[in-house]
Structure 1
Amino acid sequence: MADNSDEPVVVLGLGRFGTALARELVTRGHEVLAVDNDGAVVQALAGQLPHVVCADTTDPEAMRQLGVGEFRRAVVAIGTNIEASVLTAALLYDLRVPHIWAKAVTTAHATILSRVGAHHVVKPEFEMGERVAHLISGNLLDYVQVDGDFAVAKTTPPARIVGRPLRDSQVRTRHGVTVVAIRPAATGEFGYATGDTVPAAGDQVLVIGRTDQVESFAAGD
């Protein structure tokens, strides 16, 4: 199977999200075509992104002239103008772009984007707000929701598992979560956890499981 990790990407919409995304993709070695309909925005980014163009992303002819249909990966990063966002996603679908990501600002917006052909819909503000809420309200150091109510979290080991091999602590049986990695305070580097791993006070652990069980584990319940 071919390695598509550095495939070209077209980013449509250069607000804060789109600009940050385009810059990071370039840093990661991707060829990026960045497009926005605001000439001032394009001019400001001309020295920062290798390929940045001013064009109407809802105009089929303009997108064809830019060769957008030849890209396998496209991101609709337009957020504030929902009509333009939806029309752009639909146009990408009509151009048969096989992998379309789109930013949504509301749940309804996300639903419409999915219905017009976006394969992957993200809600950055909602997802970040949810993540921060979990960090503020619990004992988690970091938190990423994987799917539905499943999450990966970084936390400190509860007192009941400190100083004992994970095998003896029976974390999965008692707490419903799996400790997948540990960062000993002494080394500061994460490594895979095994049944023989002995967490110490001050270490950090990565756990995966249902969100409520992860939070309960972190709280020491």
Structure 2
Amino acid sequence: MPMESEQLEAVVMDIVAGIRDAIIKHHVTVDQYRFAVDYLGRLADARELPLLLDVFLNVAAVDAENEVTKGSPQAIQGPYYREDAPAVTDRLKTLDHDNERPLVVRGQVRDIDGSVLPGAEVDIWHSTPTGKYSGFHDNIPVDYYRGKLTSDSEGAYRVATTAPVPYQIPNQGYTGALLEAMGRHSWRPAHVHFKVRKPGFKTVTTQVYFEGGQWVDSDCCSGVRDDLVRRTTQEDGVDTLTVDFVLDRAA
């Protein structure tokens, strides 16, 4: 949704003021400034601008939205969402990998008053055991490792799948070079994506991370928050991730 002109002017001028202040504070030279302009031009030509913005700024927009939400916390969506994910009942389609680990994802959907919400769509997607995403990498069909569930009469959902793994964002271009020059890495911790929808309610788009997982404390996209980290439990010898959702009424 585009901004109104007054909001747009305020946001743009605050961004410009912040950049100007940083240039002065850190004594950036004219040559360094011209180098940065050239870098941004090359990055735009390589079509990496969305990647750079998502790495550094997406989480700020999420945090701003979370300041006014009454439902479950939002998180960054990431670039690998597919609206055309298939409807599923109790299992996501997975490939046979030697290193895959079974995982059950379950939970319940309620409104902010605590009433259960049957018929909510719980859209789930996550990486393969090799850190890829269906519909984007290695010609993996879009109906693998993603699917849309419907909460039952008690607002509950449950699906069997395999555990995701940490992976690197595209790091061979200008964004990766910048992270490396800053002394940072390009890894994201293992996580499961969710988009929960029901007519009359605000959509919750979020990610959930695994307690003790690698890179949880240093996500390259700064997307991890304490309330998004979960500890798995064991059910019949299978790791189980429980994620409940609270939906706020739409305006």
For the superposition of Structure 1 and Structure 2, which TM-score range results when normalised by the shorter chain? under 0.3
**Which structure carries more relative contact order (alpha carbon 8 Å, separation 6+)?**
2
The structure with the larger Rg is 1
More helix by share: 1
Structure-2-length-normalised TM-score: 0.22
Structure-1-length-normalised TM-score: 0.24
